[in-house]
Chain A
Amino acid sequence: GESVGLHLPTLSVQEGDNSIINCAYSNSASDYFIWYKQESGKGPQFIIDIRSNMDKRQGQRVTVLLNKTVKHLSLQIAATQPGDSAVYFCAERAPGSARQLTFGSGTQLTVLP
């Protein structure tokens, strides 16, 4: 079946630097994407979402970019903080899948002091 995958399983950045987490998706028909953050011992937490009719969406310190041509999604975190250390998942929803999300394998982000 269709799946979502991540390019980098681990990412280490210095505190204060910007982070970029990438995600490749395989279903070109997917119409909705979400980034989740999962801290150790906790459930995934919503960060930001984007619909397929957009190519960029900004939140507080986070930006999601969608490139439908190459089926690529990225999450940019500005001025990365120690509290940003977590596993980040992208998820996609295919049309007609009635609220089902397919999750990627996750990227571990470590913020170095």
Chain B
Amino acid sequence: DAGVIQSPRHEVTEMGQEVTLRCKPISGHDYLFWYRQTMMRGLELLIYFNNNVPIDDSGMPEDRFSAKMPNASFSNLKIQPSEPRDSAVYFCASSHIRAGGVNEQFFGPGTRLTVL
């Protein structure tokens, strides 16, 4: 398996533009997570899905952020309109339930977003 795939790896955009980040989880994983990482706040959970259904989006910072998972092999995170303070590395991770209920999350390489 290729692991969690994210695209693009780098995105530079101007304030006010729409940004779409994409993620393909590991096949067979039924949980998908979106994280944001900054120097100031570290790794923050934004939203996660189970079987394509959003379970908890309490980490989504504002209405400008939205995430969808139309099928088991794809999710996207949109920011509209983008602002400079959205600049961060956005990670997607996936997991499945292993024996004993443990849930190691496998992370993608991340998308580095810069909003000018």
A interface, CB within 8 angstroms of B? 32, 34, 36, 41-46, 49, 51, 89, 93, 98-106
Contact = CB atoms under 8 A, between A and B. Distances in A.
The 4 A-B residue pairs whose C-beta atoms are closest, nearest first, are: A43-B107, A103-B43, A99-B103, A105-B42
A49 B104 contact: yes
Given A43-B109, A43-B110, A44-B91, A99 B31 contact: yes
Given A34-B104, A93-B103, A103 B42 contact: yes
21 contacts: A32-B102, A42-B110, A43-B93, A43-B107, A43-B109, A45-B107, A46-B104, A46-B106, A49-B102, A51-B102, A98-B50, A99-B31, A99-B50, A99-B95, A100-B48, A100-B56, A101-B45, A101-B103, A103-B42, A104-B42, A106-B43
Nearest to A53: B100
B109 A42 contact: yes
Contacts of A101: 45, 103, 105
Interface in B87-114: 91, 93, 95, 100-110
A105 B108 CA distance: 19
Q: Which of the listed residues A44, A89, A102 has the most CB atoms from chain B within 10 Å of its own CB?
A: A44
Nearest to A102: B45
B55 interface: yes
Nearest to B110: A43
Contacts of B106: 46
Contacts of B102: 32, 49, 51
